[in-house]
Amino acid sequence: MLSMKKLLFVLFTLALPCIASAQQHPVSIDTTAMRQVTFNEIEVLPEAARVKGMLLLNKDIQYELEGAVDNMYNFKFERAEKQFKSLRRRYPEHPLPYFLMGLSQWWKILPTNIETLKYDNLFFAYMDTTIQKAEAMYDKDERNVEAAFFLAASYGFTARLHSERSNWRKATVASKHALDFMEKAKAGNGLSPEFLFGEALFNYYSIWIHENYTMLRPVLVFFPDGDKRLGLKQLAYVSNSGFYTGTESKTFLMKIYANEEKRTDEALKVAEDLALKYPDNAYFQRYYARLLFVNGLFSKAERVSLEMLHKLEQDMPGYESVSGRYASYILAYINQHKYRDFEKAKEHYKNAIMYAEMNNERESGYFVSSYLNLARIAKQQKDNAAANKYYAIVLKTSDKKSANYKEAKQFLKANRG
C-beta separation of 200 from 164 below 8 A:
no
- Mean pLDDT for 22-32 is 35
167 pLDDT higher than 50: yes
- Mean pLDDT for 189-207 is 86
Per-residue pLDDT, 2: 40
For residue 407, what pLDDT band results from cuts at 50, 70 and 90?
very high
Q: Final residue of a domain: which of 193, 227, 246?
A: 193
- Reported as a single tens digit per residue, the pLDDT across 254-290 is 999 999 999 999 999 999 999 999 999 999 999 999 9
Residue 232 lies in a domain: no
- CATH number where 390 lies: 1.25.40.10
Shared domain check, 135 and 17: yes
Strands (E) in 297-357, as ranges, are: none
Q: How many CB atoms lie within 10 A of CB 19?
A: 23
| Residue type for position 304 | V
Entry pTM: 0.86
Shared domain check, 189 and 44: yes
For residue 163, what pLDDT band results from cuts at 50, 70 and 90?
confident
The more confidently predicted of residues 180 and 310 is 310
The more confidently predicted of residues 4 and 215 is 215
Shared domain check, 297 and 189: no
Distance CA 378, CA 99 (A): 52
Q: What are phi and psi of 225, to 5 degrees?
A: -70, 140
Q: Final residue of a domain: which of 170, 193, 216?
A: 193
Local structure of 1: helix, strand or coil: coil
Residue 28 lies in a domain: yes
Backbone CA torsion sign across 262, 266, 270, 272: positive
Q: What are phi and psi of 22, to 5 degrees?
A: -70, -15
Residue 386 lies in a domain: yes
304 pLDDT higher than 50: yes
Shared domain check, 188 and 73: yes
- Mean pLDDT for 185-206 is 87
Q: Is 276 exposed, middle or buried (0-12, 13-18, 19+ CB in 10 A)?
A: exposed
Residue 362 lies in a domain: yes
Shared domain check, 305 and 189: no
The more confidently predicted of residues 176 and 391 is 391
Per-residue pLDDT, 393: 96
- Reported as a single tens digit per residue, the pLDDT across 313-360 is 999 999 999 999 999 999 999 999 999 999 999 999 999 999 999 988
Alpha-helical (H) ranges within 74-167 are: 77-90, 95-109, 120-140, 145-164
Residue 335 lies in a domain: yes
Shared domain check, 181 and 67: yes
Q: Final residue of a domain: which of 152, 178, 193?
A: 193
Local structure of 252: helix, strand or coil: helix
Residue 252 lies in a domain: no
Q: Which residues contact 238 (CB under 8 A, 6 or more apart)?
A: 193, 194, 196, 197, 200, 245, 246, 249
DSSP state at residue 296: T
Q: How many CB atoms lie within 10 A of CB 259?
A: 13
Residue 283 lies in a domain: no
Q: What percent of the chain has pLDDT over 70?
A: 83
Q: Give me the numbers of helices (H) and strands (E) for the chain, helices first please.
A: 21, 0
Structurally, the chain folds into a number of domains equal to 2
Q: What are phi and psi of 134, to 5 degrees?
A: -70, -35
User: What is the average pLDDT score of the chain?
Assistant: 86
Shared domain check, 160 and 52: yes
Question: SS3 letters for 155-217?
Answer: HHHHHHHHHHCCCHHHHHHHHHHHHHHHHHHHHHCCCCHHHHHHHHHHHHHHHHHHHHCHHHH
C-beta separation of 100 from 82 below 8 A:
no
Per-residue pLDDT, 417: 58
The more confidently predicted of residues 68 and 44 is 68
Q: How many CB atoms lie within 10 A of CB 368?
A: 23
Per-residue pLDDT, 220: 54
- Mean pLDDT for 68-81 is 98
The more confidently predicted of residues 366 and 38 is 366
Of 104, 63, 145, whose CA–CA distance to 248 is shortest?
104
Q: How many CA atoms lie within 13 A of 257 on its CB side?
A: 22
Domain boundaries, position 163? 4-193
Per-residue pLDDT, 207: 75
Per-residue pLDDT, 226: 75
Per-residue pLDDT, 172: 85
Q: What percent of the chain has pLDDT over 90?
A: 71
Distance CA 208, CA 163 (A): 20
Residue 239 lies in a domain: no
DSSP state at residue 258: I
b/e string for 260-273 if b means 16 or more Cβ within 10 A? Answer: bbeebebbbebbbb
